[in-house]
């Protein structure tokens, strides 16, 4: 049973009319194009590729891409709002858009004029999806340990290696991927933008996941893939630093995804608490339920404030890595905690697929893991206060 919730009241956040318009547009599209299908898509692990053409028509696939490249030229607060509204209906679609826009931002900030002209209009229209490939079997949180190589051969690079957890990878037209072009450590890593149609780029397997079933996650093999030297994204040897900066922006997106999941849990819990009766009155009249909802609403407000602040700092060109880590840590923890509480409020019904809270419960956990685990976020926050001790 799907829950259609009223639009959230965001007047207290000081958003502009343009930002509110993005949130409203995204909500309308999500309710029209996703809500009627999400239960089936989730059950069948469907990646709805046609959806992203519709999001492109609505201007969401190029939300932060400048207008000269066919985008909407919106800011990062708008980006966070769009991801949040998608996640209220489908967390999988939210992360698909978040990663896509994360790579679009990387091309915009690091790419050559030719790369911008080649990719940004196609990203903005939804014609081409973008993917990210950093993690390897022995290089996750320790990204500097990656082993995939890019060897110079004249005016080309030859790429060899295997990547895991590549979001959008099975449907992407282009992938931002990290390869070792130099010696060991972070300074030997470079970033490339690679077209997935290149010979030797092989999707080896699709990863079956606990949640976000509508998001595509794959392993990609790069078997002697030849790319021109101008496929370098940014300067040679600066790829890991660039990747980490990309992930900083991505953390705002994942924090917004967690906020959307949390908002959906609150929507469903309030509705159920008003309608479900026990002992002759709505279960929301009992403190055991009411207090859970009160804490859920409080943490949602706090999470939104942290996310919108991190996005606003990025828009202002100010340091935002610490704010992004705080937003992601708090929002993801709250989403996972309150998704469990939403299931508890629904009782036995919450454990069935008749209500959406079991899906939110499964979807929430990943927000504590990808784009930097909660432990990594705590390291970032602690080091900002303590420095690097020992």
Question: Where in the sequence numbering do the catalytic residues fall?
Answer: 371
250: its two tokens? 């991505």
3-state secondary structure of 379: helix
* The Cα angle at residue 145 between residues 140 and 151, in degrees rounded to 5: 120
Query: 192 to each of 55, 75, 342, how far by Cα in Å?
Result: 26, 25, 42
281: its two tokens? 């009155």
Q: H-type helices in 2-37, by residue range?
A: 17-33
CA 295 distance to own-chain centroid: 25
Angstrom distance (rounded) from CA 225 to CA 122: 23
Angstrom distance (rounded) from CA 91 to CA 87: 4
**Of residues 205, 210, 223, the one with CA closest to residue 166:** 205
Angstrom distance (rounded) from CA 218 to CA 167: 7
Q: For helices 49-57 and 17-33, what crossing angle results, to 10°?
A: 150
| DSSP code for 136 | B
Residue 375 and residue 357 in contact, taking contact as beta carbons nearer than 8 Å = no
């Amino acid at each position: 049973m799907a829950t259609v919730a009223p639009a959230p009241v965001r007047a207290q956040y000081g958003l502009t009319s343009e930002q509110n318009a993005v949130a409203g547009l995204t909500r309308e599209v999500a309710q029209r194009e996703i809500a009627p299908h999400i239960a089936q898509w989730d059950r069948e692990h469907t990646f709805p590729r046609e959806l992203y053409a519709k999001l492109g028509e609505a201007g969401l696939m190029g939300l932060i891409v400048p207008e000269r490249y066919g985008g909407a030229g919106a800011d990062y607060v708008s980006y966070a709002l769009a991801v949040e509204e998608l996640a209220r209906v489908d967390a999988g679609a939210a992360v698909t858009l978040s990663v896509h826009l994360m790579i679009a931002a990387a091309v915009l900030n690091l790419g050559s004029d030719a790369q911008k002209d080649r990719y940004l209009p196609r990203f903005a229209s939804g014609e081409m999806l973008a993917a990210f490939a950093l993690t390897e079997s022995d290089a996750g949180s320790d990204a500097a340990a990656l082993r995939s190589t890019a060897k110079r051969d004249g005016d080309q690079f030859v790429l060899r290696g295997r990547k895991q957890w590549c979001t959008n990878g099975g449907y992407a037209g282009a992938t931002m991927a990290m390869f070792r072009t130099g010696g060991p450590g972070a300074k030997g890593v470079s970033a490339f933008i690679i077209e997935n149609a290149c010979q030797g780029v092989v999707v080896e397997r699709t990863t079956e996941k606990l949640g976000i079933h509508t998001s595509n996650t794959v392993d990609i093999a790069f078997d002697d893939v030849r790319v021109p030297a101008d496929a370098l994204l940014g300067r040679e040897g600066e790829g890991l630093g660039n990747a980490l900066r990309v992930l900083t922006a991505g953390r705002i997106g994942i924090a917004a995804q967690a906020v959307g999941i949390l908002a959906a849990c609150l929507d469903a819990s309030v509705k159920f608490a008003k309608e479900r009766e026990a002992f002759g009155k709505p279960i929301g009249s009992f403190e055991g339920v009411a207090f859970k909802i009160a804490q859920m609403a409080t943490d949602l407000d706090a999470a939104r404030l942290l996310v919108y602040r991190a996005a606003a700092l990025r828009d202002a060109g100010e340091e935002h890595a610490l704010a992004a880590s705080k937003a992601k840590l708090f929002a993801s923890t709250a989403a996972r905690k309150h998704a469990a509480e939403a299931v508890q409020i629904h009782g036995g019904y919450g454990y069935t697929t008749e209500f959406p809270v079991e899906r939110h419960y499964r979807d929430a956990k990943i927000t504590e893991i990808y784009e930097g685990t909660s432990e990594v976020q705590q390291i970032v926050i602690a080091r900002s206060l303590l420095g690097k001790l020992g």
